[in-house]
Amino acid sequence: MFGYLGTVLVVWQMSALANGAPDWALMIGCGGAICWLVHGWQLKDNPILITNFLLLIIAMYGIIYN
């Protein structure tokens, strides 16, 4: 379930970027990364966990220092 929600949030993030809302896209991206982290945790899938943990850090950095 979290994988589907994460996918919807990532698509919404890309839409926000395309429409010129980078701050909003970073916040949506954080939500998507968190959903994918939960999904990866449930499946014990380390590549998904590592990738989305790094994406969450990058998005948080963008929100804080933007």
Residue 37 CA from chain centroid, whole number: 9
pLDDT digits (tens, 9 = 90+) for 8-66: 999 999 999 999 999 899 999 999 999 999 999 999 999 999 999 999 999 999 999 97
Domain ranges of the chain: 2-65
Q: Is-contact 37 52, C-beta < 8 A?
A: yes
Q: What does 2-49 look like in DSSP terms, one character per residue?
A: HHHHHHHHHHHHHHHHHTT-HHHHHHHHHHHHHHHHHHHHHHT-HHHH
Whether 1 shows a pLDDT value over 90: the answer reads no
What are the C-alpha distances in Å from 35 to residues 1, 17, 19, 65? 9, 19, 23, 23
